Structure formats: structure tokens, C-alpha cells
Amino acid sequence: MAVEVVYRSSRDPERLFMDKAEADRHDKMLELAETLADVLQKAVPSLNETQVEEIGIFMAKNRDAFARAFKNQPEALGELFATPDA
């Protein structure tokens, strides 16, 4: 019988990870997404809960591109939807 160590994100208990660092990254991404969703809801009250949640997760998953864009590299946002050359 083999023993397998798995890690679970505290913010996403259904998701299992084989690596603690990966679980920690996922947890931090979800924490950032939640904070972004809160800010977006206050800034744009007309957005519904699902919309702010999806936008928050999208921004958190792509935080590097947004960080570069906010540091005078707006073209970094173009990478988000760029299709790789075939």
C-alpha cells in the first residue's frame, strides 16, 4: 500500500495539490481575487456578485501582466488574449 501526500487549499477545499508550494500559490491567488472582487464591487456597484468574482479571479490569475501594465507597460495586457503563432 502506497501513501500519497496531498495538499488542500484552505480557500478551495475541493481542490487537491501534490505540492505544498502550488497549494499556497493557489490560496494566495484566491485571496487576491477576493480582495479585488471587494474593491470592484465598491467601485462599480452595478456589477453582480458573479461578475466581480470572475473579474477578480481573472485579474489575480493574470497579476503579472496587470502589474507590468500598471508600471508603464500597457502592451502587457495585449498578451492576455494573444494567440500563439501556429
The residues, ordered by sequence, that sit 6+ positions from 41 with a Cβ below 8 Å of its Cβ are 47, 49, 52
Render 62-75 in DSSP notation, one character per residue: THHHHHHHHTT-GG
- Please check the confidence at residue 86 and state whether its pLDDT lies above 60: no
pLDDT at 63: 95
Average pLDDT for 23-43: 95
Helix ranges (H only) for 1-86 are 20-43, 49-61, 63-70
Q: What is the pTM of this model?
A: 0.79
Q: Which CATH number fits domain 7-80: 1.10.3720.10, 1.10.10.710, 1.10.20.140, 3.40.50.10490?
A: 1.10.10.710
pLDDT digits (tens, 9 = 90+) for 36-83: 999 999 999 999 999 999 999 999 999 999 999 999 999 999 989 876
pLDDT at 1: 80
Chain centroid offset of residue 68 CA: 16
> Domain segments of the chain: what residues?
7-80
- Please check the confidence at residue 3 and state whether its pLDDT lies above 70: yes
